[in-house]
Amino acid sequence: MTSIWLDEIAADVFPRLDGDAAADVAIVGAGIAGIATAYHLARAGAKPIVLEARTVAEAASGRNAGFLLAGVAENFAAAAKRYGEERALRVWRFTRHNQQLVREVVAREQIDCDLAWNGSAQIAGDDSEWAEARASAERLRREGVRVRLVPEERAAIYEEDGELHPVKYVRGLARAAARSGARIFDGTRVTAVAPDGLRTERGRVRAGAVVACVNAYSQHLVPLRVRPVRGQMLATAPVGRRVFVRPAYAHRGYRYWRQRADGRLLIGGWRDTARDEEVGEEERTTRPVQDQLESFLRQRAPEAAISHRWAGIMGFSHDALPYAGRLADGIFVNAGFTGHGMAFATATGELVADLVRGVSRNETDLYAPERP
């Protein structure tokens, strides 16, 4: 049940908070959203405190595929139909900014997280999706996006996408935030939030603002339209041949896979084969979905030995875009990533950090929690 990422990296030792504390900003959750928010706040001179019920990156941030894609789960043509072309382009550019931020942060903080830019493949599952993939590529080329089509594979190759080790990245970012003045506490469950701070099981934290970054578990603390949805993956022992050239995202984002530099294969998704069963907060694997993942593995690499199987709980928003901004007086959120936290959260952390500090940003409307 432990993800390959969490199994490979020992958790940094951050203390538990016993008793009361005070900070400029109190952040709930030490996944990518909470840590990125703390990092940007600390870099700007604020003194944030981060409280995590488990350990840094132990929840969804340590259980994903480590993709750094541009855009949302849908292809661009589908996103333009859903949001309108102008808004879809603004979201696309925001995720490209997220990629650039990750590149800059990794270089500046010297984070060893296996960051690579091998591109990604969007693979169509049917004729309708393939038509959308072609239309997406044509439109995005006009924006300067490097994309090419492989008709025989019904794939669009986006040359500028990346991949990384998500736990190494988030924990490296946490260490960088701590060096800049953030205080991080593990094993500290928050029970309630208010405009002037929050309560834990063992005390109270007073703060000028609170940021809830607990994604799938948001409704335990704030009235946010987030639905918990389980995602499952498996990983293999190293395979001595190249099976997958680059990370792939297929069947409208329901299926995904990649091969690491060390030869290990990672396969995830197939949630569409058990939609109702995959809703909720139960962090466990199930036989029906794991059988689908293994069946795909056997088609592509029958010799591969499975080493890990795991599940993580994603937080789905009502429209597949994150909620990043002010929820109420003194209370902000950074959540609802709909399975794409790595694609958004370094940049939404920057956005929320600015909003907390009173800095105006023109992306605020895209991710406003109260949007229709």
Return the pLDDT at 302. 98
Q: Is residue 69 part of a domain?
A: no
Q: Is residue 88 part of a domain?
A: no
Q: Specify whether 30 is located in the same domain as 40.
A: yes
Return the pLDDT at 344. 98
CATH number of residue 126's parent domain: 3.30.9.10
Residues comprising the chain, all counted: 372
Q: Is residue 97 part of a domain?
A: no
Return the pLDDT at 204. 98
Q: Is residue 91 part of a domain?
A: no
CATH number of residue 189's parent domain: 3.50.50.60
pTM over 0.95: yes
pLDDT tens-place string over residues 208-219: 999 999 999 999
- Nearest partner of 138 among 77, 91, 208, judged by Cα: 77
Asked if residues 67 and 249 have their Cβ atoms less than 8 Å apart, the reply is yes
Instruction: Work out the average pLDDT over 180-200.
Output: 98
| Residue 368 pLDDT exceeds 90 | yes
Residue 142: both structure tokens together: 């006009």
CA neighbours closer than 13 Å in the CB half-sphere of residue 114: 16
Q: Is residue 111 part of a domain?
A: no
Report the Cα–Cα distance between both ends of the chain, in Å, rounded: 37
Q: Is residue 247 part of a domain?
A: yes
| DSSP secondary structure of 85-135 | HHHHHHHHHHHHHHHHHHHHHHHHHT--S--B---EEEE-SSHHHHHHHHH
Q: What percent of the chain has pLDDT over 70?
A: 100
Q: Is residue 34 part of a domain?
A: yes
| Residue 287 pLDDT exceeds 90 | yes
Return the pLDDT at 28. 98
pLDDT tens-place string over residues 238-261: 999 999 999 999 999 999 999 999
Q: Specify whether 251 is located in the same domain as 308.
A: yes
Instruction: Work out the average pLDDT over 289-293.
Output: 98
Q: Specify whether 153 is located in the same domain as 253.
A: yes
pLDDT tens-place string over residues 300-326: 999 999 999 999 999 999 999 999 999
| H or E, element range at 178 | helix 166-179
CA 274 to chain centre: 22
| Residue 279 pLDDT exceeds 90 | yes
Question: Which of 316, 337, 354 marks a domain boundary?
Answer: 316
Return the pLDDT at 1. 79
β-strand 248-250 against 190-194: which pairing, if any?
unpaired
Q: Specify whether 237 is located in the same domain as 200.
A: no
- Nearest partner of 22 among 194, 205, 189, 184, judged by Cα: 205
User: With b meaning 16 or more CB within 10 Å and e meaning fewer, what string describes 342-351?
Assistant: bbbbbbbbbb
Q: Specify whether 188 is located in the same domain as 146.
A: no
| 110 phi/psi in degrees, rounded to 5 | 55, 55
- Cβ-proximal residues to 94 (8 Å cutoff; 6+ apart), any chain: 344, 347, 363, 366
Residue 198, helix vs strand vs coil = strand
Return the pLDDT at 139. 98
Return the pLDDT at 202. 96
Question: Which of 273, 301, 316 marks a domain boundary?
Answer: 316
Question: Which of 279, 299, 316 marks a domain boundary?
Answer: 316
Residue 363: both structure tokens together: 């992306």
Distance (Å, rounded) from C-alpha 56 to C-alpha 74?
29
| Residue 223 pLDDT exceeds 90 | yes
Return the pLDDT at 66. 98
pLDDT tens-place string over residues 27-64: 999 999 999 999 999 999 999 999 999 999 999 999 99
Residue 229, helix vs strand vs coil = strand
Distance (Å, rounded) from C-alpha 305 to C-alpha 302?
8
Q: Is residue 83 part of a domain?
A: no
| Residue 349 pLDDT exceeds 90 | yes
pLDDT tens-place string over residues 132-184: 999 999 999 999 999 999 999 999 999 999 999 999 999 999 999 999 999 99
| Residue 195 pLDDT exceeds 90 | yes
Q: Specify whether 156 is located in the same domain as 173.
A: no
Q: Is 110 exposed, middle or buried (0-12, 13-18, 19+ CB in 10 A)?
A: exposed
Q: Specify whether 145 is located in the same domain as 251.
A: yes
Residue 47: both structure tokens together: 């003194």
Q: Specify whether 235 is located in the same domain as 303.
A: yes
> What is the total count of domains within the chain?
2
Q: Specify whether 222 is located in the same domain as 238.
A: no
Return the pLDDT at 211. 98
Q: Specify whether 245 is located in the same domain as 305.
A: yes
Average pLDDT value for the chain: 97
| Residue 75 pLDDT exceeds 90 | yes
Q: Specify whether 251 is located in the same domain as 139.
A: yes
Return the pLDDT at 121. 98
Domain limits at 32? 4-63+166-226+319-367
Return the pLDDT at 187. 97
Residue 18: both structure tokens together: 């016993």
CA neighbours closer than 13 Å in the CB half-sphere of residue 61: 31
Q: Specify whether 173 is located in the same domain as 312.
A: no
